[in-house]
């Protein structure tokens, strides 16, 4: 390729990529007003002008003209000047953004921001760096909205994967409102996909409703936007409090975040939860840390889980502790009581200094060598050591790879003791295998068995075996404790339980509702369109050109990715590993990898 050909190729690529915005530009171009853009004083060989400098001077020239136009407007009331003024300053749309901070923007017909106001204290804090919203005046709406969303992300309001932002557009021109809504959702979704993946964008167009004046009055008192008020109204219609026109119910719901309100609607929950602040208070009271100023909390509402609860992380100077607080009663369901006396500084007879990263790795390597003599002589690769907190204890997470096998250790940062370990290495270790009880533990305790573990999970989920599909049960030892990892699906909900293998108690559970709607999915993905694990497996085998009898280590996992049902199919044929991602509805191959071990 010659230089000229390459340049032509580049030029054509740019011309095809450059957006064609002529209509949008022309809509912003008024009649020529005769303003003069003067040439910069020419230097030798210089044919350029400096627009930034001109911008400054032309503004000065413009001001008296603008003042005259405004004066004329006051005197005449209407007329040519009035029309221009109307186009620039008349409010065409009101856009509100609600997470917990509520922010309202008024926008002119040209799509420029006329005003930006914080409706509550949290919003004022978010807008602080933008001079309380004044900096956004005159900017294009999408630019302003993206700046606000960026600030919300930075302030931590979109940290949780289930966080939600509500965009509401109010406009008498419903067509324009719908267009704005669509543009803003696409733009915010784009920002959040990169900055806060997993979060949701909700949107609505508000109509002028004769029945809403009472609500507007309430809005005024509660410091929330009309958009959030409309969402509260939907919840009140759902839970019946709208009938009694209950101001108390409105106030309680108005104090909740958009994520909480949306969860209530999705779950059809008629009770009103206690809210994040009350949940944090309950957890801190239980933890006995209320009088400590240094303690902070992070609260994540899990109203779509069973039981509906708030996850509260209590952060103390000596560690982070997790609490589960019932969303309606405020009762603490799990977590450590009275932290200062049980875990606080000075309560543990630990050495004063922590060990080094090298010592932590040595402790892990020594343990690994003793457990797996067959691996001795191999070097550990990809060693990653990280100091962390786990239930109030400072620990090192030590990860490394030996002979292609991953090892993960948790080492006490003071004593060097091995607290937890896990590996995908499956050769028989000595003296204690990870798939048999460690000596001294469990020999006198009975294994409850796979069926009992499965039943315990079903009981907890309130389901029967016939209602669920895609079972996956694994028996494993974790830190000397026998556990069953039980996974299954009911419709589009995925359940994941860890059951104690001796007592059958539930050690951990997760409940994940997969919805296909958040990112503009086609609305497909219901279980009736699911091709099933067997068809997915068959598609992968056909692509690889092998039969199932030729394969080993076959694993099929049903998953949701970005609103799409998928199957992950993995198997080995001899020393070749195959990994497929199959579309769960069409059976088409979305991704595949082939690797010779």
Partner 1 sequence: MLAASGVQTTEDKENARSRELEQLLLQAGKGSRDAFGQLYTRTRGAVYALTLSLLHNAQEAQDTAQDTFVKVWESAPGYRPQGSPMAWLLTIARNLARSRLRQSGRLVGLDEEDWNAIPAADPDVTPEDRQVLQEALARLGEEERQIILLHAVSGLKHREIADLLELPVSTVLSKYHRGLKKLKSLMKGEDHT
What string of DSSP letters covers 412-430?
Answer: ETTT--EEEEEES--S--S
Shortest distance (Å) from residue 481 CB to partner 1? 42
Contact pick of 15, 341, 349, 528 for partner 1 (by CB under 8 A): 15
Binding status of residue 59 toward partner 1 by CB under 8 A: no
Among 8, 86, 426, 553, binds partner 1 (CB under 8 A): 8
Between CA 318 and CA 334 the distance in angstroms is 20
Site string for partner 1, 139-178 (x = CB under 8 A): -x--x--x--------------------------------
Residue 87 CB, nearest approach to partner 1 (Å): 14
60 touches partner 1 by CB under 8 A: no
- Output 50 or 251, the one with its CB closest to partner 1: 50
Note whether 341 binds partner 1 by CB under 8 A: no
d(CA 192, CA 154): 11
**Residue 66 touches partner 1, criterion: CB under 8 A:** no
Total residues contacting partner 1 by CB under 8 A comes to 48
Single residue of 41, 48, 77, 545 touching partner 1 by CB under 8 A: 48
Q: How far is the CB of 451 from partner 1 (least distance, A)?
A: 49
Which of 38, 548, 555, 562 contacts partner 1 by CB under 8 A? 38
* CA–CA distance, 358 with 365 (Å, rounded to integer): 10
Selection from 156, 150, 155, 142 nearest residue 93 by Cα: 142
Q: Does 22 bind partner 1 (CB under 8 A)?
A: yes
The stretch among 30-38, 460-468, 527-535, 563-571 that binds partner 1 (CB under 8 A) is: 30-38
Piece of 11-19, 112-120, 325-333, 548-556 that binds partner 1 (CB under 8 A): 11-19
Query: Does residue 109 interact with partner 1 by CB under 8 A?
Result: no
Least distance in Å: CB of 435 to partner 1? 42
Stretch that binds partner 1, among 2-10, 65-73, 442-450, 558-566 (CB under 8 A): 2-10
Q: For residues 188 and 411, which CB has a smaller minimum distance to partner 1 in the complex?
A: 188
Nearest by Cα to 448 from 485, 486, 483: 483
Q: Which is nearer to partner 1, 2 or 443 (CB)?
A: 2
Q: Minimum distance between the CB of residue 11 and partner 1, rounded to whole angstroms? A: 5
Q: Which of 41, 47, 87, 442 binds partner 1 (CB under 8 A)?
A: 47
Q: Rule CB under 8 A: say whether 333 interacts with partner 1.
A: no
Pick from 11, 221, 467, 594 the residue near partner 1 by CB under 8 A: 11
Query: Using N-to-C axis directions, what is the helix angle for 226-239 and 247-254, rounded to 10°?
Result: 120
3-class DSSP state for residue 382?
strand
* Angle of the 80-89 helix axis to the 51-76 helix axis, nearest 10: 120
Of residues 41, 46, 353, 549, which one binds partner 1 by CB under 8 A? 46
Least separation, in Å, of the C-beta of 48 and partner 1?
Answer: 4
Chain centre distance of CA 551: 38
Could you give the residue ranges of the DSSP H alpha helices within 225-295?
Answer: 226-239, 247-254, 258-267, 276-287
d(CA 510, CA 324): 13
Cβ 15 to partner 1, closest distance in Å? 4
Reading the block at residue 67, the tokens are 């003042």
Supply the minimum distance, in Å, between the C-beta of residue 514 and partner 1: 25
CB-based burial of residue 15 (10 Å sphere; 0-12 exposed, 13-18 middle, 19+ buried)?
exposed
Q: Give residues with Cβ within 8 angstroms of 445, minimum separation 6.
A: 482, 502
> Per rule CB under 8 A, is residue 1 in the interface with partner 1?
yes
Minimum CB distance to partner 1, residue 311 (Å) = 31
Strand-pair partners of 104: 96, 117
Q: Are 340 and 309 in contact (CB under 8 A)?
A: no
SS3 169: strand
Whether the CA torsion 463, 469, 470, 473 is positive or negative: it is positive
DSSP letter for 196, please: S
If one asks whether residue 41 binds partner 1 (CB under 8 A), the answer comes out as no
135-154 in b/e burial notation, b at 16+ Cβ within 10 A? ebbebbbbebbbbbbebbbe
3/597 with CB nearer partner 1: 3
List of E strands, 52-109: 93-98, 102-107
The verdict on 51 binding partner 1 (CB under 8 A) reads yes
- Burial of residue 456 (number of CB atoms within 10 Å: 0-12, 13-18, 19+): buried
- Considering the complex, what minimum distance in angstroms separates the CB of residue 369 from partner 1? 40
Site for partner 1 in 355-374 (CB under 8 A): none
Q: How far apart are CA 104 and CA 96, in angstroms?
A: 4
Draw the binding track, 183-202, toward partner 1 (x: CB under 8 A; -: no contact).
----x--x------------
By CB under 8 A, tell whether 317 contacts partner 1: no
Asked if residue 571 lies in contact with residue 552, where contact means CB atoms within 8 angstroms, the answer is yes
**Cβ proximity of 160 and 258 under 8 Å:** no
Return the number of the residue (5 or 291) whose C-beta is nearest partner 1: 5
Q: Provide, rounded to whole angstroms, the least separation between the CB of residue 43 and partner 1.
A: 9
- Would you tell me which residues interact with partner 1 (CB under 8 A)? 1, 3, 6-22, 24-26, 28-29, 31-39, 45-52, 54-55, 140, 143, 146, 187, 190
């Amino acid at each position: 390729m010659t230089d000229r050909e390459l340049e032509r190729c580049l030029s054509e690529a740019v011309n095809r990529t450059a957006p064609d915005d002529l209509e949008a530009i022309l809509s912003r171009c008024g009649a020529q007003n005769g303003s003069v853009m003067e040439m910069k004083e020419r230097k030798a060989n210089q044919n350029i002008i400096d627009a930034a400098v001109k911008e400054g001077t032309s503004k000065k020239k413009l001001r008296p003209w603008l003042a005259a136009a405004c004066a004329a407007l006051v005197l005449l009331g209407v007329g040519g000047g009035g029309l221009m003024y109307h186009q620039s300053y008349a409010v065409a749309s009101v856009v509100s953004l609600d997470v917990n901070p509520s922010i309202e923007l008024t926008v002119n017909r040209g799509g420029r921001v006329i005003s930006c106001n914080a409706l509550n204290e949290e919003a004022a804090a978010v807008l602080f760096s933008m001079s309380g919203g004044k900096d956004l005046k005159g900017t294009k709406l999408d630019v302003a909205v993206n700046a606000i969303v960026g600030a919300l992300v930075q302030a931590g309001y979109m940290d949780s994967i289930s966080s939600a932002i509500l965009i509401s557009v109010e406009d008498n021109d419903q067509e324009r409102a719908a267009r704005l809504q669509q543009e803003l959702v696409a733009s915010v979704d784009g920002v959040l996909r990169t900055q806060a993946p997993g979060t949701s964008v909700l949107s609505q167009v508000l109509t002028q409703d004769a029945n809403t004046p009472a609500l507007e009055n309430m809005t005024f008192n509660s410091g929330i936007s009309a958009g959030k008020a409309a969402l509260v109204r939907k919840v009140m219609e759902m839970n019946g409090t709208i009938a009694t026109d209950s101001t108390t119910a409105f106030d309680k719901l108005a104090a909740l975040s958009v994520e909480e309100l949306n969860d209530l609607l999705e779950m059809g929950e008629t009770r009103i939860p206690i809210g994040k602040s009350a949940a944090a208070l309950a957890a801190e009271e239980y933890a006995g840390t209320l009088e400590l100023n240094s303690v902070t909390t992070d609260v994540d509402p899990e109203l779509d889980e069973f039981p509906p609860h708030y996850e509260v992380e209590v952060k103390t100077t000596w560690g982070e502790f997790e609490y589960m607080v019932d969303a309606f009663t405020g009762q603490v369901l799990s977590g450590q009581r009275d932290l200062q006396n049980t875990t606080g500084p000075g309560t543990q007879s630990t050495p004063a200094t922590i060990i080094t990263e090298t010592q932590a790795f040595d402790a892990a390597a020594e343990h690994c060598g003793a457990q797996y003599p067959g691996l001795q002589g191999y070097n550990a690769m990809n060693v990653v050591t990280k100091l962390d907190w786990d239930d109030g204890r400072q620990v090192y997470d030590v990860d490394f790879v030996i002979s292609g096998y991953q090892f993960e250790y948790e080492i006490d940062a003071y004593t060097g003791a091995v607290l937890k370990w896990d590996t995908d290495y499956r050769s028989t270790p000595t003296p204690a295998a990870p798939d048999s009880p460690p000596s001294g533990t469990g020999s006198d305790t009975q294994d409850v068995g796979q069926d009992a573990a499965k039943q315990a999970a079903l009981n907890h989920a309130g389901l029967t075996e016939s209602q669920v599909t895609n079972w996956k049960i694994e028996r494993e030892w974790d830190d000397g404790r026998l556990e069953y990892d039980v996974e299954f699906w009911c419709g589009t909900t995925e359940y994941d339980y860890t059951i104690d293998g001796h007592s059958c108690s539930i050690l951990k559970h997760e409940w994940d509702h997969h919805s296909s709607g958040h990112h503009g999915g086609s609305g497909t993905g219901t279980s009736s369109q699911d091709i099933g694990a067997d068809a997915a497996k068959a598609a992968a085998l056909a692509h690889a050109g092998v039969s199932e009898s030729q394969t080993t280590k076959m694993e099929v996992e049903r998953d949701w990715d970005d609103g799409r049902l998928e199957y992950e199919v993995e198997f080995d044929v001899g020393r070749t590993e195959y990994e497929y991602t199959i579309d769960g509805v069409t059976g088409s191959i979305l991704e595949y990898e082939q690797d010779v071990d």
